[in-house]
Structure 1
Amino acid sequence: MLAGRTSLSAADRDLDRFRFRVALSGVVVVLAFALLIARFVHLQVVQHDYYSTRAEDNRISLVPIVPNRGVIVDRNGTVLARNYSAFTLEITPSLVDDLEATIDGLSRVIEILPKDRKRFRRLLEESKTFESLPIRTRLSEEEVARFAANRYLFPGVEVKARLFRQYPLGPIASHAIGYIGRINKRDLEMIEENDEAANYKGTDHIGKTGIEQYYEFDLHGETGYEQVETDAGGRAVRSLARTAPVQGNDLALTLDSRLQEMAEKAFGDRRGALVAIEPSTGGILALVSTPTFDPNLFVDGIRSDDWDLLNNSPDRPLLNRALNGAYPPGSTFKPFMALAGLETGKRTPGQAIADPGYFNFGGHQFRDDKKGGHGLVDMHKSIVQSCDTYYYMLANEMGIESIARFMEKLGFGQRTGIDIQGESEGVLPSPEWKKRRFRRPEQQKWFAGETVSIGIGQGYNSYTPIQLAQATATVANNGIMYRPHLVKYITDSRTGQKTMIEPEPLRILPWKRQNVDVIKKAMIGVNLAGTAAKAFAGASYVSAGKTGTAQVFSLKGAEYRHSSVRKELRDHALFIAFAPVDQPRIALAVLVENGGFGAQSAAPIARMVFDYYLLGKLPKGAAEESDVEED
Structure 2
Amino acid sequence: MIFCIIIIRLASLQFAEGASLADEETKRDVKTVPLAAARGVIYAANGEKLAYSSSVQSLYMMLTKEYTAKVKDKEQNKDMLTDEARQKSDALAARLAAEFAKYSDPAAKQLSKEGVLDALDLEFKRNQGYVPRRIKADLSQKEIAYFMEHKDEYPGLSIVEENLRHYNNDTIAVQTVGYVKPFKSTETGYSIYTNIRNAMKQSDADPGLVYKPDESVGADGLELQYQRELRGKNGYQEISVDPQNMAKKVEKLVPPVKGYNIWSTINKNIQLKTEQAVTDQIKWLHSNAVQGKTHPDAQTGYAVAMEVDTGNVVAMANMPDYDTNIWTGEKLLPEDWEKIETNYQNGTVTPKSSGRSGNDFESVVFLGSTIKPLSVLIGLNEGLFSTTETYNDKGIAYFGKDDKSSVRNSSGHVYNNIRPAKAIEFSSNAFMIDMVGERLYNKYKGEALNVWDSYLKQFGLGVSTESGLPKEYPGEFNYRREDYTGTDQAALVYASFGQQGKFTPLQLAQYTATLANEGERIKPQLVSRITDADGKLVKSFEREVLNKVEFDPAYWSVIKQGMNSKVEAFDDFPYDFARKTGTSEQWSSKARANRDNGVFIAYAPRDKPKLAVAVVIPDGGFGSQSAAPVARKIFDAYDWEYGLDGIPKKSLAASSGETE
TM-score under structure 1 length normalisation: 0.80
Secondary structure of the equivalent of 1:217? helix
Match in the other structure for 2:508: 468
Distance 2:618 2:386 in 1: 35
Match of 1:418 in 2: 467
Question: Secondary structure at 2:162's aligned position in 1?
Answer: strand
Match of 2:163 in 1: 163
1:244 corresponds to which of 250, 255, 262: 255
| CA RMSD between the two structures | 3.3
Equivalent of 1:213, from 213, 217, 224?
A: 224
Question: What residue in structure 1 maps to residue 547 of structure 2?
Answer: 507
Q: Secondary structure at the match of 1:63?
A: strand
Question: Quick one: which amino acid aligns to residue 181 of structure 2?
Answer: G
Corresponding residue of 1:286: 315
Contact preservation (8 Å) 1:404, 1:429: no
Structure 1 residue 235, shift from structure 2 partner: 6.6
Distance 2:275 2:418 in 1: 38
Q: CA deviation at 1:506?
A: 0.9
How far residue 414 of structure 1 moved from its aligned partner, in angstroms, is: 1.5
Gap change, CA 1:406 and 1:206, over 3 Å in 2: same
Counterpart code for 1:397? R
Alpha-carbon displacement from aligned partner over 1:387-420 (angstroms, at most 9, x marks no partner): 2222121222222434333222212111212111
Asked if 1:397 corresponds to 2:439, the answer is: yes
Q: Which amino acid aligns with 2:111?
A: I
Distance (whole Å) between structure 2 residues aligned to residue 133 and residue 616 of structure 1: 49
Q: Where does the alignment leave 5 or more consecutive residues of structure 1 unmatched?
A: 1-27, 556-564, 619-631
Matching of residue 304 in structure 1 with residue 334 in structure 2: yes
Q: Is structure 2 residue 278 aligned with structure 1 residue 267?
A: yes
Quick one: distance in 1 between partners of 2:486 and 2:494? 16
Question: Equivalent residue of 1:245, what SS?
Answer: coil
1:318 corresponds to 2:344: yes
Q: 1:586 aligns with which of 608, 611, 618?
A: 611
Partner of 1:14: none
- 1:367-516 aligned within 5 A: 367-394=408-435, 395-399=437-441, 400-401=448-449, 402-428=451-477, 434=480, 446-458=487-499, 460-493=500-533, 496-516=536-556
Shift, 1:291, TM fit: 1.7
1:282-322 residue CA offsets vs partner (Å, 9 max, x unmatched): 222212112222222223442222112222xxxx2124221
User: Over residues 555-612 of structure 1, what are the superposed CA-to-partner deviations in whole Å (9 max), with x where a residue is unaligned?
Assistant: 9xxxxxxxxx969963110100111222222101100111111111110100000001
Give the C-alpha shift of residue 70 in structure 1: 1.8
1:337 aligns with 2:375: yes
Residue matched to 1:359: 397
Shift of 1:489: 1.6
- How far has the Cα of 1:370 moved from its partner? 2.7
Q: CA deviation at 1:35?
A: 7.4
Structure 1 456/443 Cα, relative in aligned 2: closer, same or farther at 3 Å?
closer
Contact 2:321–2:344 (Cα < 8 Å) also in 1 = yes
The verdict on how the C-alpha distance between 1:195 and 1:152 changes in structure 2, with shifts beyond 3 A counting, is: closer
2:586 maps to which of 539, 552, 559 = 552
1:408–1:428 contact (8 Å) kept in structure 2: no
Q: Which amino acid aligns with 1:324?
A: T
Select between 121-130 and 571-580 the one with higher mean Cα deviation: 121-130
Q: Within 5 A, what are the aligned runs for 1:23-34?
A: none
Residue 380 of structure 2 aligns with an amino acid whose one-letter code is L
Is contact 1:170-1:296 (8 Å) kept? no
Match of 2:61 among 83, 88, 91: 91
User: Percent same amino acid at aligned positions?
Assistant: 27
Mapped partners of 1:604, 1:483: distance in 2: 26
Count of aligned residue pairs for this structure pair: 560
Q: 1:37 to 1:372 in 2, by over 3 A?
A: closer
- CA spacing shift, 1:303–1:95, aligned 2, 3 Å: farther
In structure 2, distance between residues paired with 1:190 and 1:96: 38
| Cα 1:51/1:405, change in 2 over 3 Å | closer
What residue number does 2:627 align with?
Answer: 602
Task: Tell me, in whole angstroms, the C-alpha distance in 2 between the residues paired with 1:156 and 1:126.
Answer: 18
User: Which whole-Å deviations, capped at 9, do the CAs of 1:28-66 have from their partners, x for residues lacking one?
Assistant: 9xx86x777666545544443134324544554433222
Write the distance in 1 (CA, Å) between the matches of 2:382 and 2:122.
Answer: 63
Query: Residues 359 and 147 from structure 1, CA distance in 2 versus in 1: closer, same or farther, beyond 3 angstroms?
Result: same
Tell me the SS of whatever aligns to 2:503: coil
User: Partner of 2:502: helix, strand, or coil?
Assistant: coil
Does 2:140 align with 1:135?
no
From the superposition, tell whether residues 123 and 585 of structure 1 become closer, same or farther in structure 2 (CA, over 3 Å). Answer: farther
Determine if contact 1:573/1:592 at 8 Å carries over to the other structure. Answer: yes
Maintained 8 Å contact 1:574/1:589: yes
1:271, distance to aligned residue in structure 2 (A):
0.4
CA distance in 2, matches of 1:168, 1:123: 39
Moved more, 544-553 or 263-272: 263-272
Q: Indicate how the Cα distance of structure 1 residues 408 and 234 shifts in structure 2: closer, same or farther if over 3 A, else same.
A: closer
Contact 1:355 1:374 survives alignment (8 Å): yes
**One-letter amino acid of the counterpart of residue 538, structure 2:** K
User: Which amino acid is 1:551 matched to?
Assistant: E
SS at match of 1:89: strand
User: 2:96–2:116: 8 Å Cα contact kept in structure 1?
Assistant: no
2:210 to 176, 200, 210: 200
User: 2:266·2:313 contact (CA, 8 Å) conserved in 1?
Assistant: yes
1:187-216 residue CA offsets vs partner (Å, 9 max, x unmatched): 552313566964124362221111111221
> CA separation of 1:338/1:118 partners in 2, compared to 1, >3 Å: closer, same or farther?
farther
Contact 1:352 1:377 in 2 (8 A): yes
Assess if the C-alpha contact under 8 Å between 2:387 and 2:554 holds in 1: no
Listed one character per residue, the Cα deviations across residues 423-445 of structure 1 (whole Å, up to 9, x for unaligned) are 11212357xxx3xx56xxx9997
8 Å contact from structure 1 (residues 170, 295) kept in 2:
no
Evaluate the alpha carbon distance shift between residue 302 and residue 241 of structure 1 in structure 2; reply closer, same or farther with a 3 A threshold: same
Q: Secondary structure at the match of 1:93?
A: coil
CA distances 1:250-269 after superposition (whole Å, capped 9, x unpaired): 21122212211111111115
Distance 1:298 1:465 in 2: 26
Kept in 1: contact 2:128–2:245 (CA 8 A)? no
Larger mean CA deviation between 250-259 and 572-581 belongs to 250-259
The range that moved more, 186-195 or 316-325, is 186-195
Structure 1 residues 511 and 53: CA distance shift in structure 2, 3 A? same
- State the AA in 1 paired with 2:172: I
Q: CA shift at 1:178, angstroms?
A: 1.0
Is the Cα–Cα contact under 8 Å of residues 97 and 116 in structure 2 kept in the other structure? no
SS at match of 1:451: helix
Residues in 2 aligned to 1:122 and 1:392: alpha-carbon distance in whole angstroms: 72
Structure 1 residue matching 2:587: 3-state secondary structure? coil
C-alpha deviation, 1:510, in angstroms: 0.5
Tell which structure's C-alpha radius of gyration is larger.
1
Q: Distance between the aligned counterparts of 2:413 and 2:166, measured in 1?
A: 59
| Kept in 2: contact 1:124–1:133 (CA 8 A) | no
**1:276 and 2:305 matched:** yes
2: CA distance, partners of 1:82 / 1:266: 27
> Counterpart amino acid of 1:491?
T
Q: 2: distance between equivalents of 1:77 and 1:355?
A: 54
Alpha-carbon distance in 2 for matches of 1:170, 1:115? 33
Mapped partners of 1:568, 1:85: distance in 2: 55
Structure 1 residue 102: deviation in Å? 2.3
Does structure 2 conserve the Cα–Cα contact (< 8 Å) formed by 1:93 and 1:99? no
Distance (Å, rounded) in 2 between the aligned partners of 1:141 and 1:185:
35
Distance 1:606 1:372, change over 3 A: closer
1:474 to partner: Cα distance: 0.6
Instruction: Give the aligned residue type for 2:340.
Output: L
Q: How does 1:8-27 map to 2 (within 5 A)?
A: none
Question: Residue type matched to 2:300 in 1?
Answer: R
* Inter-partner Cα distance in structure 1 for 2:592 and 2:58: 48
SS for the counterpart of 2:365 is coil
